[in-house]
Amino acid sequence: MTTAGDLPGRYLVQATNARRLSPTSTVHPTGLTPPFAMTHSLRFSATARRPLVGAFRATLAGLFAVFAVAASAQVSTANGLESLEAFVKNTKSGRAVFTQVVTSPAREGQTARTKTSSGSFEFLRPNRFKFVYKKPFEQSIVSDGQTLWLHDVDLNQVTARKLTQVLSGTPAAVIAAAADIKALQADFTLVPQPDRNGLEWVQATPKTKDGQVQNITVGFRNTGKGSELAVLEILDSFGQRSVMTFSQFEVNPALGAAGFQFKPPAGADVIRQ
């Protein structure tokens, strides 16, 4: 069995402490308010079924030292904050594939550990999004605009929670849910960062301090037609770093609300919070 700390999508919203429970597991409410993860601590059986991506061990992602990489050493005319504002304003829907690499802090005498997962991502503003992990294990995180659903395919287990309880201060709020930049500024301190790797960057720090995401750094690619989401970096309070790299990004594809509806599979263990 896998524990909440093993889930690859844990920092995307405050809803993935994921309830990956065995039939004998006991749930204890604790009043925690993590970022993209459910706000309950869990007690699991002693034997883990599999080692999952430890990406979001504390909850659903230090500061990066970044330098402009333009050959002229000049700052570009647009900065990351302007790119974020343009992205939120002009990209009302999107579709991409992603690769996520999670790096855990090195223990004394050991090197840092990394784990990789991959999948697809879709969103429809406001508040509808879907992260589907395909490798190494199947897992879905779906928001239909009202409820956040987490489906563990391996365990045939579903966790559901009201979106309003789990979205604030999370990476999903930054890249997919917000209707406009003012909505983001209510929950985050937004600071443009120097260009690097050909991207324009902005750092979003949650204003609430009770979550486990320290900061979120987003990189945008200027395509000439607008700002395209390229990279999402998440640093948690345990020093664990998650980097999601997006490719094949489609701007404003025709996505309908029906595509974000989720129906628990027959026989699934459904836990509502």
**Average pLDDT, integer, range 84-98:** 95
User: For residue 204, what pLDDT band results from cuts at 50, 70 and 90?
Assistant: very high
Cα–Cα distance, 59 to 33 (Å, whole number):
9
pLDDT value of residue 10: 53
pLDDT value of residue 16: 42
User: For residue 211, what pLDDT band results from cuts at 50, 70 and 90?
Assistant: confident
Digit-coded pLDDT (tens) for 29-54: 222 223 343 333 333 333 333 333 33
Cα–Cα distance, 260 to 273 (Å, whole number):
20
pLDDT value of residue 48: 37
DSSP 156-187: TEEEEEEGGGT-TTSHHIIIII-SSHHHHHHH
125: pLDDT strictly greater than 70: yes
Please give the residue that has the higher pLDDT: either 248 or 59. 248
Location of structure tokens 């223990």: 107
pLDDT value of residue 43: 30
Domains and CATH numbers, the chain: 62-272 (2.50.20.10)
Q: Which two tokens stand for residue 267?
A: 């026989």
- Give CA separation, 41 vs 16, 25, 167, in Å: 11, 11, 18
Task: Estimate to the nearest angstrom the gap between the alpha carbon of 160 and the chain centroid.
Answer: 17
**Average pLDDT, integer, range 160-172:** 89
**Average pLDDT, integer, range 137-146:** 95
**Which of 191, 175, 196 shows the shortest CA–CA distance to 76?**
196
pLDDT value of residue 273: 83
pLDDT value of residue 31: 24
pLDDT value of residue 9: 59
- Give CA separation, 154 vs 16, 44, 203, in Å: 15, 16, 35
pLDDT value of residue 8: 54
Cα–Cα distance, 152 to 174 (Å, whole number):
24
pLDDT value of residue 231: 97
Of 17-31, 117-131, 170-184, the range with the highest mean pLDDT is 117-131
73: pLDDT strictly greater than 70: no
